[in-house]
Amino acid sequence: MNTYSIKELLSSKHILQEVIVNGWVKTFRSNRFIALNDGSTLHNIQCVVDFENFDEGLLKKISTGAALKIKGTLVESQGKGQNVEIQVTSIEVHGEADPETYPIQPKKHTLEFLREKAHLRIRTNTFSAVMRMRSALSFAVHQYFQQNGFYHVHTPIVTGSDAEGAGEMFRVSTLDPKNPPLNEDGSINYQEDFFGKETNLTVSGQLEGETYAMGLGKIYTFGPTFRAENSNTSRHLAEFWMIEPEMAFYDLDANMDLAEDFIKGVLSYILENCKDDLEFLEKRLLDEEKMKPAIERSEMPLIEKLKFITENNFKRVSYTEAIDILKNSKPNKKKKFKYPINEWGADLQSEHERFLVEKHFKCPVILFDYPAKIKAFYMRLNEDGKTVRAMDILFPGIGEIVGGSQREERLDVLKEKMKALDIDEKELWWYLELRKYGSAVHSGFGLGFERLVLFATGMSNIRDVIPFPRTPQNAEF
Ligand code: 4AD
Ligand code: MG
């Protein structure tokens, strides 16, 4: 007798075979029908129990959440709703789930409640669908790059540099916080720390990624990223996963082409390979939308929205054009923006990004050539001396999903910029040497993986698309 996953059984063409299946009880009705799920698919398999043949004590142990091993015969289903079911011959209880206390009962739970039960929420349909999609997206990311000549590089988690220059880093230290070694001026002496210098968790693998692109040609990183920004929003995590491709000999246009093709590629993959989960999440979203006031409802069902992205070109707009549009927009004139747009140079807030994408262009937008002042030091300076070859991709309902740029490859210009921003050349001596030896035009971008999962699943809070979210004041589990 062989053990099968429920996914295999539900698509099996061989009925009347003896099978073993393991899983968790979703429901147990009328002492007769067990709906069993093992995570292999959204769907449950119905297991039919002839209760006269089973010990009453055993049947009492079967309730929602219990883990079972079931042996039986796969037969054509007599009832509606499924093609096959299992006529049960034996049941072994791996572990019971006390119905008095087991929190995941077969009823609707709020996402907020489930966040507090993050260790059990994966047993709900919503979370299993989201996490299977997350896994498929992760596979699609690797597949896309591997099929397009990119090498996967593992950049370090612990680093001494602040790539984004935002200073929002988690310190890594083994010093005794109560009694750290001090310098004569009273500051902490990090030379005595584990690495002999100040270190932190990485905010981006880009700078190390650049070194590998300047040898392997095209690389990508896909790793955990940490930001100690105190942003308690539905789009920010303190620990998230970022995908960062970096390509030698790519200018900004080639970079934008790649980013657009990449996003379309991974979304096409899930449209093709996650149909059941997508249909379930689409329906879930439609039910949820019904509860919302009409103006807050999204215009397209989930699958249509994903197809719209894969089938249409992203709109490319310069920062300068975007500022003109925003300046003259209705919400700006009517003072509806929290941050009014008065002049060129203003940093765009998510209200502005969402206006451009959702109201004005009604499609994904790639904004490029931002003012140097509001972007990181490594972006290539344009001829005008005031803008840099930056690009952000803005998505409906999400805002910024990608941030990238062509990199400054000219040693003298880069040194100049670092000086202006007070970045110590000694800290980044190796980064500068890339510009000294065989420097070349190169570009890359970073895509926040959870923002992609958020978009692809139609969920609305980033805490619900990562298994164990880390946010300010929250690192449970
Ligand atoms: O725009 P960011 O800060 O860009 C970089 O880190 C560059 N080094 C990338 C590169 O050029 N290689 O971050 C890139 C993306 C954002 O567009 C967003 O999708 C995501 O990372 N992101 C976050 N996602 C979740 N929580 C946060 N706190 C995030 N911060 C950025
Ligand atoms: Mg950014």
The answer to whether the beta carbons of residues 277 and 472 sit under 8 Å apart is no
Where do we find the tokens 């500068």? 432
Residue 221 Cβ inside 6 Å of ligand 1? The answer reads no
CA of 201 to the centre of ligand 1 (A): 15
How far is residue 379 from each of residues 243, 348, 372, 423, measured CA to CA in Å?
Answer: 18, 18, 8, 14
Using CA atoms, how far apart are residues 226 and 219, in angstroms rounded to an integer? 21
The candidate with the shortest Cα–Cα distance to 156, out of 188, 195, 108, is 195
Residue nearest to atom 25 of ligand 1 (CA): 236
Residue 445 Cβ inside 6 Å of ligand 1? The answer reads yes
Ligand nearest to the CA of 224: 1
CA of 397 to the centre of ligand 1 (A): 17
Ligand nearest to the CA of 443: 1
User: CB 155: neighbour CB atoms within 10 A?
Assistant: 22
Using CA atoms, how far apart are residues 161 and 89, in angstroms rounded to an integer? 62
CA of 349 to the centre of ligand 2 (A): 11
Residue 402 Cβ inside 6 Å of ligand 1? The answer reads yes
Identify the pLDDT of residue 357: 95
- In this prediction, what percent of the chain has a pLDDT beyond 90? 91
Among the ranges given (144-148, 239-243, 347-351), the one the predictor scored with the smallest mean pLDDT: 347-351
For the CA of 245, the closest atom of ligand 1 is 12
For the CA of 392, the closest atom of ligand 1 is 17
Spatial strand order of the sheet with 171-172 comes to 158-159, 199-201, 171-172
Helix or strand holding residue 171 (H, E)? strand 171-172
Identify the pLDDT of residue 16: 83
Q: Which pLDDT tens digit goes with each residue over 105-114?
A: 999 999 999 9
Residue 247 Cβ inside 6 Å of ligand 1? The answer reads no
pLDDT bin (cut points 50, 70, 90) of residue 66 is very high
pLDDT at position 14 over 90: no
Residue 279 Cβ inside 6 Å of ligand 1? The answer reads no
CA of 83 to the centre of ligand 2 (A): 49
Residue 242 Cβ inside 6 Å of ligand 1? The answer reads yes
pLDDT bin (cut points 50, 70, 90) of residue 425 is very high
Helix crossing, 449-457 with 252-273: angle to 10°?
40
- In this prediction, what percent of the chain has a pLDDT beyond 70? 100
Ligand nearest to the CA of 451: 1
Q: Which pLDDT tens digit goes with each residue over 46-63?
A: 999 998 999 999 999 999
Using CA atoms, how far apart are residues 176 and 267, in angstroms rounded to an integer? 47
Residue 227 Cβ inside 6 Å of ligand 1? The answer reads yes
Q: Which pLDDT tens digit goes with each residue over 210-256?
A: 999 999 999 999 999 999 988 889 999 999 999 999 999 999 999 99
For the CA of 244, the closest atom of ligand 1 is 12
Choose the residue to mutate in 203, 451, 452 for probing ligand 1, maximizing ligand atoms within 8 Å of C-beta. Answer: 451
Residue 223 Cβ inside 6 Å of ligand 1? The answer reads no
Using CA atoms, how far apart are residues 355 and 361, in angstroms rounded to an integer? 9
Q: Where are the alpha helices (DSSP H) in 363-428?
A: 411-420
For the CA of 227, the closest atom of ligand 1 is 28
